[in-house]
Amino acid sequence: MDFRYVRFYYEPSLQIDLDGTINEISQVFPNCIFEACGSFFEYRPDYQMTAERARISEIRQPFGHQSPGHQFFDLYGRSTALYDGFELQRLLAPAFPEESFIPIIFTDLLTCTFSEEDWRYHARALICGTPSVISTTGIVEAPAKPREFYLSILTQNVDSVKKKLSGRFIDYGDERMTKVAAGYVLQILFFFITNGDPFCEDISCRLHNAHWQEDLIRIQVENPAICTKHRLLANKFNHRLSTRESI
């Protein structure tokens, strides 16, 4: 699928430099037009309660078998609500009846997807589709932290463990979140370019689906690069857009 316009819905409280993110994306897709909008739920406040219908009450039951009522889950001392990412996307989709642009919603809602392999929900930073959703809470909580973190919190205070391992994972308010967000936006755009295949098997490519925080930092912050295969796909896409402009 070809596109030219990408619209971001973003809340300043999320502490991402959206201009910085857009600048990085523009280097890969110079012929696209990126528009920064405000919070989606301020733009469409009628969807605030709609989104709550995607809440998860039981982590080991698929969405169709959730018990009524809202549940909060403890994430290392933070009381957090979980949302079924695909259900949230389905509920928000009617707000985007047109296909004239790619809508991307940044949110602090923690999106999750259910796995039938271990029959439980897992946190996700990214839900691709219309709309695409990037969860800043998911950026922190979805990729696994270093193994030392999980061993240390068995006997030590979480805050002291985070201080000891500082820099080895993305945390709340982390300035590196801007570059990581750019990587997830790239995955969204390649999702549409490839008709549903946003990830790369090359572990050095920004489109690699990193499951560990240290891998995420390596490919998105320390050495952000796109492999030859996906660079060629981007070049072909850019050429098609430029050709249409010249007609």
Per-residue model confidence (pLDDT) at position 99: 76
Q: For residue 245, what pLDDT band results from cuts at 50, 70 and 90?
A: low
Distance CA(136)–CA(57), nearest Å, equals 21
- Edge-first strand order for the sheet with 126-127 is 33-37, 5-9, 102-107, 132-135, 126-127
Close Cβ partners of 33 (under 8 Å, ≥ 6 residues apart)? 4, 5, 6
User: Which has the higher per-residue pLDDT, 98 or 28?
Assistant: 28
Dihedral sign from CA coordinates of 118, 119, 121, 127: positive
- Widest pairwise Cα distance in the chain: 66
pLDDT confidence band for 246 (50 / 70 / 90)? low
pLDDT score of 242: 87
The pLDDT of residue 15 is: 84
Q: What is the pLDDT of residues 103-155, one digit of tens each?
A: 999 999 999 999 999 999 999 999 999 999 999 999 999 999 999 999 999 99
Q: What is the mean pLDDT of residues 25-36?
A: 96
Instruction: Give me 12's structure tokens.
Output: 């300043």
Domains and CATH numbers, the chain: 5-246 (3.40.390.10)
> For the ranges 14-18, 66-70, 85-89, 213-217, which has the lowest average pLDDT?
66-70
Residue 21 has pLDDT above 90, yes or no: yes
Q: Across all residues in the chain, what is the average pLDDT?
A: 93
